[in-house]
Structure 1
Amino acid sequence: MIQELLAMGVMTALIAGLLGGGHCIGMCGGIVSALSFALPPSQRHPARLLGLLLMYNLGRISSYVLAGALVGGLGQLLVQSIQPLVQLLSWLAVLMLVLMAAYIGQWWMGLLKVEALGKGLWRRLEPIGRRLMPVTHPLQALGIGLVWGWLPCGLVYSMLILALSSGSALHGAILMLFFGLGTLPTLLLTGALAQQLMTYLRQGFWRQCSALLLLVFALLQAWPLLGLNRIF
C-alpha cells in the first residue's frame, strides 16, 4: 500500500513539474537568462552554457530535495505523535493539488497567496545569491541554484504539502526530486526556445488540459480516503 501511494505521489509530482513549466519560466526565467548572458560573447559556447544551466538546476533541485526531506520528516513526527493527522494531511495534499489545478487553468489564482508564506526567508537568502553574480563558473551556478531553490513559489509549496503528507523524510525527498526533474526540461531551454515554449504552455487549450489532468490526480489521491477503493 505504501509503495502504491509513493508511486502515485511520484507520478503526480513529475506531471506537476512538467505542467507547471510556464510558471517555472516566469519564476526562474530571469536567473536562467542571467546565466546565459553573464559570459562574454567569445565564451558563450553551447557546451559551457549547458554546463552552467545543469549546475544551476542541480543546486535548485537539491534544495527541493532537502526541503522535501525536512517536511517529510516533520510529517513523520506529527503522524507518530498524533495519529488523526494522517487523514488531515492526506486531505490537505488533495486540496493543494486542486488549488494547483485551479492556478494552472487560471480558474482561481488563490495559490499566489501561499507564496507570501516564504517571503521572510527569501529576504534573507536572496542577497546571498546576488553576491554570486555574474556567473562565470559552474560552482557559482550551483550556489545560485541552491539559493534559488528556496524562492517562494506556490507550485513548490503545493508539492511540499504532498511531501509532508507522505509521512517520511525519504519519501518526501523522492517526491521533490521527481517534481524538480519534471521542471528540468523547461528550464534547460533558453532564449527563443524558452519564449516559444512559454507561449505554447500559456495557450488556453493546453492550460485547461493540464488543469484537468491535475484534477484527475487529485481524485486518485482522494479515492482511498473516501473509501471508494473498498466499494469497487
Structure 2
Amino acid sequence: MLVSALALGLLGSLHCLGMCGPIAFMLPLDHQNHGKKIGQIFIYHFGRLMAYGTIGVLFGFLGKGLSLFGIQQKLSIGMGILMIVLVLVPTRYFNTYKISKPVYQALGKIKSKLGTELKKKTPDAFLTIGFLNGFLPCGLVYMALLGAIALGNAWQGALYMMLFGAGTIPLMTTAAFSHTLFPATLKSKIRKLVPIFVVLIGALFILRGMGLGIPYVSPKPMNPQMEAASMECHQP
C-alpha cells in the first residue's frame, strides 16, 4: 500500500504543478551558481516532506484511534469508498458547505508568510517555503491523507505522506528549473489519468479491508488470540 503513495505522487505531479507550480516558479533561486541552486531546491523539497510527514503522523494517529475500536478493516474499506466517491461526485456538490472562517484566516496567514519568505534567499527561507507549501489545500493531498488514515498507524501514515511527497519531487524540480518543458496537451492527458488512478488506489484499500487472503494486497486479519500471541513473541 505504501508504494501506491509514491505512484500517486508521481502520476499526480502535473496536478501539483497547477497548484504549487507558481511557488516553484517563484523560488528565489541562485541562477548563477548551479550547485547552490540544486541545494536550495533540495532544502525546499525537504521542507515539503517535513510538512507532509507531520500531517501524516496526525492523521495516522486519527486512523489508529479509530482502529482501536476494532474497525481497522472497515476503516480501510470506508476510506477506499470515500476516495472513489470524491472522484466520481462533482465537486459542486461539496462547495455548498462553507469552510469555517478560522480556516480561511489560517490559510491567509500561510500565504502571507510565503510571500515574505519568497523575497529571501537564505537556506532557512527555502525550508520555510517548502514547509508552508505542504500545508496549502490540495485535492490530491486530501486523497493521500485518506490513505494515511486507512493505514491506522501514525508512523506508517507519516511514511505514506512522505512517499507521496517524494513522488512529486521530479516534476516539481523540473518546474523550478523550467516550466516550459511540459506542453499543455501533455498536462491535460496526464491530469485525466489521475482520477482513474485514485479510483484504483481506493479499490486497493477496499480489497485490503476485505481480508481475502491475498498476500501484500488483502491479507487475512489475525484474530485477537493470534495477535496477542504475536505480540508476546516479539517481546524481549
User: Is the TM-score greater than 0.5?
Assistant: yes
Q: Is 1:75 matched with 2:75?
A: no
| Amino acid paired to 1:219 | A
C-alpha contact (below 8 Å) 1:163/1:172 kept by paired residues = yes
C-alpha contact (below 8 Å) 2:143/2:198 kept by paired residues = no
Q: Is 1:219 matched with 2:175?
A: no
C-alpha contact (below 8 Å) 2:43/2:123 kept by paired residues = yes
Q: 1:91 aligns with which of 77, 82, 88?
A: 77
Alignment-derived partner of residue 41 in structure 2: 53
Q: 2:15 aligns with which of 8, 23, 43?
A: 23
Q: Is 1:132 matched with 2:117?
A: yes
- For the residues of structure 2 that align with 1:210 and 1:39, how far apart are their CA atoms? 30
- For the residues of structure 2 that align with 1:134 and 1:112, how far apart are their CA atoms? 36
User: TM-score of the superposition, structure 2-length normalised?
Assistant: 0.75
Q: Secondary structure at the match of 1:195?
A: coil
- For the residues of structure 1 that align with 2:179 and 2:159, how far apart are their CA atoms? 27
- For the residues of structure 2 that align with 1:28 and 1:209, how far apart are their CA atoms? 19
User: TM-score of the superposition, structure 1-length normalised?
Assistant: 0.76
- For the residues of structure 1 that align with 2:9 and 2:159, how far apart are their CA atoms? 13
| Amino acid paired to 1:145 | G
Summarize deviations over 1:32-69 as a string: whole Å, max 9, x none.
Answer: 1111xx357xx532222222211111101110001101
Summarize deviations over 1:141-185 as a string: whole Å, max 9, x none.
Answer: 111111111001111111112111211111101101100000101
- For the residues of structure 2 that align with 1:115 and 1:61, how far apart are their CA atoms? 29
Distance 1:122 1:45, change over 3 A: same
Q: CA RMSD in A?
A: 3.0
The structure with the larger Rg is: 2
Identity %: 28
| Amino acid paired to 2:4 | T
Flag structure 2 segments of 5+ consecutive residues without an equivalent. 215-236
| Amino acid paired to 1:83 | G
Q: CA deviation at 1:198?
A: 5.9
More helix by share: 1
C-alpha contact (below 8 Å) 1:115/1:154 kept by paired residues = no
